[in-house]
Amino acid sequence: MKIALLYPYTKMSAQGCNPPISLLYIGASLKQSGNDVLVIDKDHGNLSNPDMLEKLKDYSPDLIGLPIFANTLPQAYELVNQMVSAGFKGRILIGGPHASIRPQEVLEDFSGCDYVLRGEAENSIVKLAQCIGGRKDFKSVNGLSYRDGDRVVHNPDASPEMDLDRALFPARELLSDAYAKKTYWRIGTRGTTDVIITSRGCPYNCNFCFKVCKKFRMRSPENIIAELTAMRSMGTRSVHIMDDIFAYDKARCLRVLGMIKNSELGMEFKVRARVDGIDEELLAAMKESGVKSIVYGVESGSQDILDAMNKRTTVDMNYRAITLAKKAGLQCYADVLIGYPGETPESIAKTEELLLRARPTAINVSVMYPLPDTAVYNQAKASGILRDDWSVKNNDAWIQLPWARTKNDLYEFKRQILKRYLRNPVIVFNAIKSVLFNIDARQLKALARYFLEYAI
């Protein structure tokens, strides 16, 4: 069977562009079971919808799959309608985070969509392909939602979630041309960069966080090194370990880092971590193994807000983790979130104060967007402060705070924080120093655009 997997949204930001790793996971299992697979990534060639439709027409797939996220529904809707109008014979399948929790809505809203696969789809998509080929009954595919006449049928969830050491590595060869053309890059890094996921799920329950994978599972260090070795043989030297909590299990983390250090990989890494699991020993091991930068989920400089988020960290931990990372010689990025219920201009000022005091190499400020089915979304809806929603027509939910009239009031705080941050000479000097010798024309352009937007 011919199957096209489509990533129709741009992943480009001022910090870089990542490969669509989830599609490469699904692509690997489809290929292994004998299917012919084409992956189309919008960022590879900066494709417009007509470009993607043209590629689909040339390939003429039996099944076309794409992911949806809460905030990409309108884009997906437009594209699926265009596919239907183009008269493709292939069936249309939607998966990914938003489809996993709103399958009924997706099948009702997207009249052109034939199937939804909920949750991790490596196994279920193979079974679905067999059903379409007439070799299996649709009822047998756990995790599948589909139409039966006028009805939408939801099969039981696909469970249990698989053992990650038994999963295939992402089929990066399906995008070999994109890798060769350096489509995937990261600021301050020369050459192609890539992404690896060494665990799925997360044992914490921050109220704003949405999780596709419910069960927390980690890959063994040996399995991780095997994938890194395969990535290295494709020429990749720079890897973003995308797990939200890479340092969660200190012993495992130290083992992975030790094995990297003793290997011939010669790679550099960016990692993400919670601030509570961090200490000097871990940071020193990271530095020795080629970790160049660490991203922390700092979220806030107000203890009340951290507690309200159920983050289970403290402002002191935030400060300490940033300071220790810098001391260990790592670049340190802080992700913060403003606009959580209970937030006030005073609590935002505390976040800004923390950032200016701790001076991470760079910051990422997000305005709270309440993802569906998170605790904060449910609470805001129940208390009548949720505005707009995540639907095809009305897509940009936000939470109204007593002192903010519109969403723009919150974005104005974001702009102000970034402006003051980016105008601080010491911070700017350190940031420039951290990327100075590893920046190419494309990265310089992205950085300049970012500065123009926020610092001026």
Query: Is 9 a residue that touches ligand B12 (CB under 6 A)?
Result: yes
Size of the site for ligand B12 (CB under 6 A): 34
Footprint of ligand SF4 on 215-244 (CB under 6 A)? 244
Extract the tokens encoding 104. Answer: 């009924």
For residue 185, give the nearest of 449, 448, 5, 439 by alpha carbon. 439
Residue 117 partner contact from ligand B12, ligand SF4, none using kind-dependent CB cut-offs of 5 to 8 Å: ligand B12
Query: Is 245 a residue that touches ligand SF4 (CB under 6 A)?
Result: yes
> Helix-strand-coil percent breakdown of the chain, rounded to 5?
45, 20, 40
Identify the bridge partners of residue 235 per DSSP, sorted by sequence position: none
Select the residue interacting with ligand SF4 from 131, 152, 168, 202 (CB under 6 A): 202
Beta strands in 191-251 (DSSP E): 193-196, 199-200, 217-218, 238-241
Footprint of ligand SF4 on 270-289 (CB under 6 A)? 274
Q: How far is the CB of 120 from ligand B12 (least distance, A)?
A: 3
Footprint of ligand B12 on 345-404 (CB under 6 A)? 371
Q: How far is the CB of 311 from ligand SF4 (least distance, A)?
A: 7
Residue 98 partner contact from ligand B12, ligand SF4, none using kind-dependent CB cut-offs of 5 to 8 Å: ligand B12
Q: Judged by CB, which is closer to ligand SF4: 274, or 326?
A: 274
Q: Judged by CB, which is closer to ligand SF4: 245, or 386?
A: 245
Under a CB-based contact definition with an 8 Å cutoff, are residues 51 and 6 in contact?
Answer: no
Residue 245 partner contact from ligand B12, ligand SF4, none using kind-dependent CB cut-offs of 5 to 8 Å: ligand SF4
Under a CB-based contact definition with an 8 Å cutoff, are residues 217 and 226 in contact?
Answer: no
Under a CB-based contact definition with an 8 Å cutoff, are residues 147 and 176 in contact?
Answer: no
Footprint of ligand SF4 on 283-322 (CB under 6 A)? 297
Size of the site for ligand SF4 (CB under 6 A): 9
Q: Which residues, in sequence order, are CB contacts of 325 under 8 Å at separation 6+?
A: 278, 283, 294, 296, 332, 360
Cα dihedral 115/121/126/131 (nearest 10)? -30
Interaction pattern, residues 246-275, with ligand SF4; x per rule: CB under 6 A: ----------------------------x-
Q: How far is the CB of 229 from ligand B12 (least distance, A)?
A: 20
Q: Is 399 exposed, middle or buried (CB count within 10 Å of its CB: 0-12, 13-18, 19+)?
A: buried
CA distance 70 to 75: 11
Select the residue interacting with ligand SF4 from 59, 69, 169, 204 (CB under 6 A): 204
Query: Is 298 a residue that touches ligand B12 (CB under 6 A)?
Result: no
CA distance 116 to 99: 7
Residue 399 partner contact from ligand SF4, ligand B12, none using kind-dependent CB cut-offs of 5 to 8 Å: none
Contacting residues toward ligand SF4, per CB under 6 A: 202, 204-206, 209, 244-245, 274, 297
